[in-house]
Amino acid sequence: MPKPPNTIKSKKITVTTTLDVHAYLEQLVRGGLYGKNAAEAAERLISRGIEMLIRDGFIKFRSSTAKR
């Protein structure tokens, strides 16, 4: 059964990093919990970092309906 389309709007960004950071991302992917490629691993780490900043009060939660 095919995966249903993502209903949450997304925005594509480009991230440039060092070879060492890319190697760490690939290592996380091989572990099986961070997506299928380095880009997915980076997105998951960014999301987790933002969740931590919200939890710690450094930034405020934005609802998905907030203006962009």
Residue 8 belongs to a domain: no
Whether 24 is in a domain gets the answer yes
Domain count, the chain: 1
Please indicate, yes or no, if residue 7 is contained in any of the structural domains: no
Residue 42 within any structural domain of the chain: yes
6-65 confidence digits (pLDDT tens): 788 889 999 999 999 999 999 999 999 999 999 999 999 999 999 999 999 999 998 765
Confirm whether 62 is domain-assigned: no
Query: Whole-model pTM?
Result: 0.77
**60 found inside a domain:** no
Spell out the residues 6+ positions from residue 28 whose beta carbon is closer than 8 angstroms to its own: 34, 41, 45
CB atoms within 10 A of CB 43: 16
Q: Do the domain assignments include residue 37?
A: yes
Q: Which domain holds residue 40?
A: 19-55
Give domain status of residue 38, yes or no.
yes
* Residue 66 pLDDT class (50, 70, 90 cuts): low
